[in-house]
Every structure is written in C-alpha cells, then in structure tokens.
Amino acid sequence: MTDRPIRILQQGMTWVRGGVERFIMNLYRGIDRDLVQFDFLIPHDMPPMAYEEEVRDLGGRIFRDIYPFRCSPWHAERALRRLFAEHPEIGGVHMNVCFPYVYPLAVAARSGVKLRILHSHEGDGFTPNQHQGWHARMIECQVRRYPTRYFVCSDNAAYLFPGEPYTWVRNGIDTDRFRFDDAMRHTVRARLGIPDAAHVIGFCGHLNNRKNPLFALEVFAQYRRMEPGSVFVVTGQGELEGELRRRIPALGLPDDAVRILGGGRADMHELYQAMDGFVLPSTLEGLPFVLIEAQCAGLPCVTSLEGVTRQAAITDLLQYRSLNDAASVWAQTLHDGIARHGIGGRADRAAYAARVAEAGFDMRTTAAMLQNLYLTEGGRR
C-alpha cells in the first residue's frame, strides 16, 4: 500500500470549455483528491488547455505528449512509451472521445496499465464509407482489443464500440450550483439591462452547424412575435457567429433583442437564472450538458428529436420537436412550456435541482462511482 493517490491520466481536454471538458472538470472537482489525482494528456502543439490554471491548482499535471500517428508513428509511440515509463504512478487512462481514437490505450496496455477506459461522448457522426479502409480497420481492431471498460454518455454514443458491453455514465453536474436563485435572477438581468418582465430565451453551445444556432435564432424570432420585448441570450462562439449577427436584422429583430455573450464563460450557472426558457436544436449530440443544467435551473426546454437522445428528458421540462418542423412550431412549443410552468421567478423552479439529482445527474453520484472504479481496477502490472 502507498499513501500517495492513484493517478489517472485523462485525455479529451481541448482549449475550449465544451461539454467533454466540463465533464472532466466536474469529475475532478468531485473526487477525493487524497485518493485519486488526475493528470492530463494533450497534443504537443495545443494552445493553453481549458481550465489549465485550475488543474494545476488542484494538483494535476499536464503532459503534451500526443503526436499525430499518421505523420510519425515512431515519434507518437516513443513519446507515450516514455511517459508511462517515467511515471509508473499512473495507474489508469480515461479517454474521453467524440470520434474513433484509442491509440494511447494501446501504448498503455503495452506499458502494463491495468485500467483503460474508452468513454464516448457523442452520438453517431459517421459519414458513409467512413468505416472502410485500412486505417478504419486498424482503429476498429484497437477499439475492440485495448479498452478494459467502455463508457457512454447516452445509449446512442455506443456507436463507437458496437457490440461491446458498456456502462452509462451520467453527465453529472453540481446541482447546488445550478439550483434556481430568484435574487440572482434579478442581479443578472440588471447586469444585462433586461427588464424583469421580459421573456428571456437562452441558447448555449458552439456556434457551428451541429448546434444549429441559426435555426435557434429563427425560433426566437417567431417567439418574439408572440411575446414582444422578449430577449435571446446566446452563449457560445464559433464559425457561424458572423452569419448569426447578420441574420438578426434580416429577421426584423432589433439589436437589443439578441445578446451574444461569447463562449467559455464561468458564469453559466448565473445566466440560467435570468432565463425563462431554453432552446437547443442540435443535429448531433451525445447527451448535452446544457440540457441537464437548464433543467436543474427549472427552465422549460425544447430540443431536437433527431439530434438529442430521449435520455436527456430527466424532468417534465424538456420537450422534443423535429428539425423538419417549422420554427413557429418550435416557438409555440416553447411558449406553451413556459406558460405551463409559469413565467418569471416562480417558487417551484428551485425544486428541479432535487429532481435532477434524483435522476442520478448529480456529480457527487458520478464521482463516487468512478472513484471506486479507479481505486479497485487501476494500477500497474
């Protein structure tokens, strides 16, 4: 036995504060770091990692040892072999992926690391013929051979390892942090210059085609026809931001009707309090963190039937509509949900945090499960 914590190498962090990054950091904050510590494996040429300063404060180390296998197989292998040789305290590798990639687990297996997790965080985004060719066959072989555990954020994320037994690991959040707070609602609205009586619709995600923010804007434009004075709060950044800004006047919306606040924010738990409803018309998701957070904050939500798993509907607040439905249909569904659950700082919004926790989406539950697995199955041969 040793008094030192077991160290688990986490892969999947980027420079963006997206869903995978939030999952890893929520988990990191929730584990007992006297028993389990995290290290982070990232590409050698990546910009500063999201949450890098917090990671170092919590005791994590960052290893820039991922090199492109296609460009230099020898260099890719050597860097990872050296990492595991120089750090025998690393007793597990937890790969958080949104695409078929498993090579670090192969090197970990050859280095004697016992716990090798492949964790799929996104629905099936394969294009036709993507499974073909020698590279696809090599990855498929690695996927079947090297992981000791397969995790998914939802059932539709299991496309990455068809036929393998997997465990659903819920995207846990800090439910106390996202619980509705009426005082915070008024504070945030005052900060944003939004009247208390205005209906506020929210959207959070990368401004790209998968998150479909242009359609979300159309939904809001239809909603504002029903509720003049409504405001659309958009948090995110990406390649569609310019087009999103151009569409605002084209849809007849005044400049102050849409607030684009940027991405990577640390105050999302506060922004949810100022909202009255939430829309996410994604074309492809695993299980979106933002829908868990929004429901925890007591927000009626509308999301896409084609892109979002039914496992995201952990309360009666979430409704589904087809991407083939008109924006007016989405807007009416959202309006009905807000009317049904009440507008403004209603008292029962705070009760939804307990419902989210009861559904198993409190990070304390997820962290306890994974911590036990790290401790019982990790180590070196």
Query: Is the model's pLDDT at 311 over the cut of 80?
Result: yes
Tens digits of residue pLDDT in 91-130? 999 999 987 789 999 999 999 999 999 999 987 654 444 4
Sequence-distant contacts of 347-350: CB under 8 A, at least 24 apart = 348/298, 349/180, 349/297, 349/298, 349/299, 350/179, 350/180, 350/181, 350/298
Query: How many domains is the chain partitioned into structurally?
Result: 2
Query: Residue 266 has what pLDDT?
Result: 87
pLDDT of residue 141: 84
Q: Say whether both 213 and 352 belong to one domain.
A: yes
Per-residue pLDDT, 282: 97
The verdict on residue 1 lying in a domain is: no
Asked whether residue 131 carries a pLDDT value surpassing 60, the answer given is no
CA distance 348 to 152: 32
Pair (16, 111) in one structural domain: yes
Smallest Cα–Cα separation from 272: which of 226, 222, 219, 317?
317
Which residue in 286, 290, 309, 287 sits closest to 301, CA to CA?
A: 290
Average pLDDT over residues 50-61: 97
Is 70 a residue whose pLDDT tops 90?
Answer: no
Looking at the structure, tell me whether residues 205 and 299 fall in a common domain. yes
pLDDT band at 133 (very low <50, low <70, confident <90, very high): low
Domain with 198 in it: 175-359
Residue 1: what pLDDT?
A: 44
> Do 315 and 294 belong together in one domain?
yes
**pTM, to two decimals:** 0.90
> How many Å apart are CA 115 and CA 381, to the nearest integer?
10
Give the tens place of pLDDT for each residue, 225-258.
999 999 999 999 999 999 999 999 999 999 999 9
State whether 61 and 123 are in the same domain. yes
Share of the chain above pLDDT 90, in %: 82
**Do 51 and 167 reside in the same domain of the chain?**
yes
In this predicted structure, what is the pLDDT of residue 272?
A: 97
